[in-house]
Structure 1
Amino acid sequence: MASGFCENCLRLLREFTAHLRKVCREFEQKLRDFFRELCQCTCFGDTPERTTQELSLHLLCDAETQILDQGSLQALSRLATSENTDLQMTAALCYLHLSHHLKSPLPDAFMEPVMALLLSADLDVQKTILLSLVNLLVKNNVCKELVIEMGMLVPILELFQSGDGAAQCHSCACVTMLACSESNREAVMVDGIIPLLALAKSYDPQVQQNATWALLHLTQSDWSTRILCQAGAIPVLVLLLQSSDSVLQFYSCTALCNIAAVQEHHPKLLSIGGHFLLKSLLTLVSSSVRKNSTQACRCLQTLSKNVLIQEQLMELDCMLPLKALLKTSFPESAITLLSALSAHPPNNDVLVSEGLLDEIGQLLHRHRSSSVIITQSCKIIADLCSSCMGQQAVMESLCLSGLLQALVSPALSDETSLHVTSCLHHLMTWDPLKSNLLVTITSEQVARLVKLSGQTQNPQLSYNSAAIISKLETTGEMVQLLRPHYLNMLDYLLVFLKNKDVKFQQLGIVTIFNLKKDAEFSSLLADSELEVQLRKVHAQTEETRRLLLPVIQPPSPSSVNS
């Protein structure tokens, strides 16, 4: 954006700014020196504690909060250990100011006054120093292990029982930050779980949020997750899924997802009667809050690795909310869960009868460049077309045309193209689907298949594409689509015949046999390098057959009788 000033004005303004900063630094230094010298004078030996408060504020709360010397430490210690709560509050406010502006680690010695302030008899002082500690922990200005070693966890946990919402929130936030360190989790678990679970059931939404946030962090370790489950965390977290607070829903759902990742916890997850957990998660799938809906699907997907849970999900008519989610602008989580369900064959007839393939076909047409949607769609189509009912549903849907359109998407990666070509090749093993593809495929899609067939960096992608081409009829309109690419096809077929992998050689031979039905291809093949290589393969095959003949000859009758 233009400044509106000429170069000369800009230069003058920069010089003025630099000069002003220099003057301010000099004045600040003189002010520091003045107060330090004044403080050391014996005249102040018997001053009231309020004077000490004011001097400490001047010394500690400068613009950059960098005065962390011995004098400052002594002043803070005097204030923190004073019996005057006003002076204690002054020290707590100094730490709060430091916590907002400090840009470097706080020296370990400055943690001693923090401990004294946490033990204050004044709740406001405790809340203020707790908030300061939260800020310092968030910014990594203090060592988490040092907080535990100094015994600060005990007064922090005691504030869980204070009955004050702000104190409980700050203490929960402290515990959460301390639990982020693997080495601290054991200390937090010993005394912290039961109070945290109690606070998670608080009537104060902010307290609930902080407590659930702390519980979520404790589910990031297998060991602490096991202790949590033993302490009864699962029913509390499941109940929070029903909360009207979207933040609480997200925290509890994420914690349950972490718990569900360990299969040993599944019996406890399912022990809540009436399929309460699965019903709650399916309700959350329909949430208007995207991250909650996505997380609920993710949790269900993790749980669906358990076959029993899959069966229960199907009984609960999970298709209804999942199909609705497929129609939204963020269908990725739903289709990933449906892909997991379709991988279990007993579910397939229900998924087909519920019209899942119709939804998948429409989805492919709406999201032509989404790798997640295309990849998971390919998996679902391949799984569901294993039955006659599924094959018929594929033909009646937009799945085939959707896959062919995805094939020519410019944004498609090789990995996603591999899934598309694999699925198309799989579909062409059934004659009705093959016939459907033959009347649907376009010149652009044929060109794409030829290009991918000649792509040597990904052999499997090359093989899949060439395998589809090998099944295309060389009659009528299809020949007209293939003819412009004959020269390129000669190139990749030559590579196939030279490949040491027999499956590539065989595919090359099958393709040549099919294409020779067209006289134009036969004329290009005649006396070409490809034909020379074809004769070499034939000779090698004959030699291999000759060498194997005595090895595989059936035994004589006399040897059998003996």
Structure 2
Amino acid sequence: MEQVKVKGSKHTEVIHEFEICIERPKPSAFDELIALLKKILNYCICVVTCGCVAPHRSSNGINGEEYGTLLLDDERIAVENLLTYLETENCNDAVVSPQHLRALCILTYSDNNDLQRSAALCFAEFSEKMCGPLTTEMAVPLVQLLRSADVQVQRVASHTVSKFLVVPYVTNKEVLASIGVLTPLNHLLFSSDPEVLCNTCGCIAALATADCSQQQLYMDQSIKALLSLLKSAHVHIQHNAAGAILNLTRSQYNRNELVSQGALPVLVDMLHSPDEEIQYTCIAALSNVAVHEKHRAMMVAIGNHDVILRLISLMYSRQEKIKCQACFAVRNLASDGDQQVLFVRYGILEALHKVMKATSYSTQPLAAHMLAAALGCLRNLSILKANELSIVSEDFLPDMCRILNSGHNWEAQRHAAGTIRNIAVGDHIQAVLESECLEALCWCLLDVRTKSSAHADITAALAVLADEDDVKSKLLALWNGGMFGRLVSLASLSISKEVQYNSAGIVGQLALHGIPDDLRETNKLGIVLYIDKFLKSKDQNFLHIGLWTLSQLLNDPEFVTAFKEHHIDHVIRRLLTSSHSPAIIDLAQAVQDRLLGAHQEHVSDTPK
């Protein structure tokens, strides 16, 4: 899966991808190929000897009535060449020689269907044995076989192309796309043969993940054909058609194309499929499409909020991966106010709470993803003020504290912190404090297991809580001042600007309360250094928080001395002569006046 971050703090989208793997029930391609080549040569011998040597006959072999076209000399030589190669060398060479490749090309471009079929089977055998990437020289005749009018050739060729596409060579996709494989594949989407359709959908699913083919995949009405094949009577065709559509949703361009050609009603309807794999794939496709706000509104407008009701229902599925995928889709859909109200109205909170309780202690990867997605959804829902009371009443806060303290799922911790912040900004800060969310957030920030990626949301939540006077005293006292030291360290050393800014803001709020002597002495140098760095920043927000914090700290004579020794007044003077906003200039002037006043007081207090 490829992760794509979307601007804004609401969520981080995961763009889901269908991992195509096609297996066609068939006899050994090698045995089938050897038998076919022998029958062709056997017939040639019969023709050349005027019937003195009888041809080998079987119910599915070649005889004079079936085989109406004589082989040309170069075709006969090509058959002999490949037969000798296959029987003596058993196709063990990783590289196909130019001689054998020429023989393959002769069979490929023959007008004889049986020779084309031989070439296709030979390519199928090579796809099993080759240990290197596909070359253009081999790809061209293979793609040509897709254009054959013979269904048997189409079956083998499409299956072989799919095999080359799923091996771990990225260049195979690029090579096949560059020589126009999509044109015959789009044509084969209208075949009447189920096996050809299944293989073709699988090929398109694989190619849809290659950047080089993204802009070509909607050619020749292929999207409409794929949507039609979602309703096929053959479940394997449905699987691969759904996978192709899912992989097309990886790019915004193709998402727009899919929506414009009517994909949303079809995908929503397929959520009712009795096949769980198809359910899973269609949920993922809808989740990807729901990245765009306009598409979310269109999706919800289908029927009587069908997609919302069905996704909530699928969160109770017996299949863990379906529940997980439903959580992702709900999270993305619940990014807007209208949808947030509807989800709560239709009972999403109960489903989310059940998922959280079932997964909060698990360390299994699927459970971890599901928990993070459920909390991401809850976070989105908590943005809407009307939902705050419902979330608090549902008793989510203690569960979020437990997740913060667990230490093994940083993505879930991140969303739990974001949800707590949203609720604290509203009218329920007291409920947050009574549930010991402050202690859980601090513990999570101090825990060395917590990934730095979660620090921004944790410090953002603490910044909101630190506005309360009793929280200020707690933050200064927690872990014998260890929490305060951690904030100073993050303000100075964090690689995240957001964490630096949030931590500095909390320190500034604590400075209003008054920093105890022992904490001041321990952290004075770190505070001076990060204030100095902030005041030299080009970011107006950092300049503002640095100046504001400095103005609070100058109430303490010890900090006045520390900043004077660091020559902070030189930095302030440079700010006053720079082209900053009036608000920054005014604040810098006020700080300079404070520094000057403090210096004069110091001089007047010095014994003469």
1:45 deviates by 11
1:227-262 CA deviation, whole Å, 9 max, x = no partner? 433433222211222334443233212221232223
User: Which of 408, 416, 425 is the equivalent residue of 2:463?
Assistant: 425
Q: Determine if the alignment matches structure 1 residue 144 to structure 2 residue 177.
A: yes
1:32-77 CA deviation, whole Å, 9 max, x = no partner? xxxxxxx9xxx99948879964542323663115344256424653
1:397 deviates by 0.7
Q: Is the 8 A contact 1:382 1:426 kept in 2?
A: yes
Q: Is the 8 A contact 1:452 1:465 kept in 2?
A: no
Q: Tell me which residue corresponds to 2:508.
A: 467
- Please give the residue correspondences for 1:107-118 in structure 2 after superposition, counting only pairs within 5 Å: 107-108=136-137, 111-112=140-141, 115=144, 118=147
Q: Judging changes above 3 Å, is the alpha-carbon distance between structure 1 residues 46 and 104 closer, same or farther for their aligned structure 2 residues?
A: farther
User: Which of 80, 83, 86 is the equivalent residue of 1:57?
Assistant: 83
1:280 deviates by 1.8
1:170 deviates by 0.9
Q: Which has the higher contact order (CA 8 A, sep 6+)?
A: 2
Q: Is the 8 A contact 1:92 1:117 kept in 2?
A: no
Distance 1:418 1:124 in 2: 59
Q: Judging changes above 3 Å, is the alpha-carbon distance between structure 1 residues 228 and 494 closer, same or farther for their aligned structure 2 residues?
A: closer
Q: Tell me which residue corresponds to 1:73.
A: 102
- Please give the residue correspondences for 1:534-549 in structure 2 after superposition, counting only pairs within 5 Å: 540-541=592-593
Q: Is the 8 A contact 2:340 2:381 kept in 1?
A: yes
Q: Is the 8 A contact 1:57 1:94 kept in 2?
A: no
- Please give the residue correspondences for 1:196-215 in structure 2 after superposition, counting only pairs within 5 Å: 196-215=226-245
Q: Is the 8 A contact 1:134 1:174 kept in 2?
A: yes
Q: Tell me which residue corresponds to 2:290.
A: 260
Q: Judging changes above 3 Å, is the alpha-carbon distance between structure 1 residues 270 and 492 closer, same or farther for their aligned structure 2 residues?
A: closer
Q: Is the 8 A contact 2:375 2:415 kept in 1?
A: yes
How many residues in Structure 1 have an aligned counterpart in Structure 2?
Answer: 481
1:284 deviates by 3.0
- Please give the residue correspondences for 1:146-545 in structure 2 after superposition, counting only pairs within 5 Å: 146-148=179-181, 152-153=184-185, 155-159=187-191, 161-162=192-193, 164=194, 166-180=195-209, 185-186=215-216, 188-287=218-317, 289-327=319-357, 328=359, 329=362, 330=368, 331-366=371-406, 368=407, 370-388=409-427, 390-412=428-450, 416-431=454-469, 433-434=471-472, 442-449=480-487, 451-452=489-490, 455=493, 459-460=500-501, 463-467=504-508, 469-470=510-511, 483=518, 485-492=519-526, 494-495=528-529, 500=535, 501=543, 503-504=545-546, 507-508=549-550, 510-511=552-553, 513=555, 525=558, 529=562, 540-541=592-593
User: Which of 118, 139, 148 is the equivalent residue of 1:119?
Assistant: 148
Q: Which moved more, 1:200-209 or 1:528-537?
A: 528-537
Amino acid at match of 1:354: E
1:154 deviates by 5.8
Distance 1:109 1:510 in 2: 73
Distance 1:144 1:66 in 2: 22
Q: Which moved more, 1:372-381 or 1:221-230?
A: 221-230
1:369 deviates by 5.7
1:197 deviates by 2.1
1:402 deviates by 0.4
Could you say what secondary structure the match of 1:63 adopts? coil
Distance 1:321 1:136 in 2: 42
Distance 2:337 2:138 in 1: 56
Q: Is the 8 A contact 1:454 1:491 kept in 2?
A: no
Q: Tell me which residue corresponds to 1:134.
A: 162
Q: Tell me which residue corresponds to 1:105.
A: 134
Q: Tell me which residue corresponds to 1:552.
A: none
Q: Is the 8 A contact 1:147 1:153 kept in 2?
A: no
Q: Is the 8 A contact 1:256 1:299 kept in 2?
A: yes
Please say which structure displays the higher CA radius of gyration.
1
Q: Judging changes above 3 Å, is the alpha-carbon distance between structure 1 residues 413 and 488 closer, same or farther for their aligned structure 2 residues?
A: farther
Distance 2:107 2:494 in 1: 76
Q: Judging changes above 3 Å, is the alpha-carbon distance between structure 1 residues 363 and 288 closer, same or farther for their aligned structure 2 residues?
A: farther
1:138-169 CA deviation, whole Å, 9 max, x = no partner? 454442242348x523652232x22x3x3321
Q: Is the 8 A contact 2:280 2:321 kept in 1?
A: yes
Q: Judging changes above 3 Å, is the alpha-carbon distance between structure 1 residues 295 and 441 closer, same or farther for their aligned structure 2 residues?
A: same
Distance 1:440 1:544 in 2: 35
Q: Is the 8 A contact 2:379 2:419 kept in 1?
A: yes
Distance 1:424 1:75 in 2: 69
Distance 2:268 2:466 in 1: 46
Distance 1:405 1:187 in 2: 50
Amino acid at match of 1:73: R
1:399 deviates by 0.8
1:108 deviates by 4.2
1:109 deviates by 7.4
Could you say what secondary structure the match of 1:445 adopts? helix
1:177 deviates by 3.8
1:506 deviates by 5.1
1:205 deviates by 2.5
Larger relative helix fraction: 1
Amino acid at match of 1:357: L
Distance 2:510 2:159 in 1: 67
1:419-444 CA deviation, whole Å, 9 max, x = no partner? 43442232132245456667765454
Distance 1:134 1:68 in 2: 23
Q: Judging changes above 3 Å, is the alpha-carbon distance between structure 1 residues 126 and 468 closer, same or farther for their aligned structure 2 residues?
A: same
Q: Is the 8 A contact 2:177 2:213 kept in 1?
A: no
Q: Is the 8 A contact 2:186 2:220 kept in 1?
A: no
1:464 deviates by 3.6
1:495-545 CA deviation, whole Å, 9 max, x = no partner? 4776745754553564575xx7xxxxx8xx499656878998999416989
Q: Which moved more, 1:301-310 or 1:288-297?
A: 288-297
Could you say what secondary structure the match of 1:359 adopts? helix
Distance 1:69 1:465 in 2: 71
Q: Judging changes above 3 Å, is the alpha-carbon distance between structure 1 residues 436 and 127 closer, same or farther for their aligned structure 2 residues?
A: same
With normalisation by structure 2, the TM-score equals 0.67
With normalisation by structure 1, the TM-score equals 0.72
Distance 2:452 2:142 in 1: 60
Could you say what secondary structure the match of 2:125 adopts? helix
1:405 deviates by 0.9
Q: Judging changes above 3 Å, is the alpha-carbon distance between structure 1 residues 65 and 470 closer, same or farther for their aligned structure 2 residues?
A: closer
After superposition, the CA RMSD in angstroms is: 4.1
Q: Judging changes above 3 Å, is the alpha-carbon distance between structure 1 residues 505 and 533 closer, same or farther for their aligned structure 2 residues?
A: farther
Distance 1:84 1:196 in 2: 28
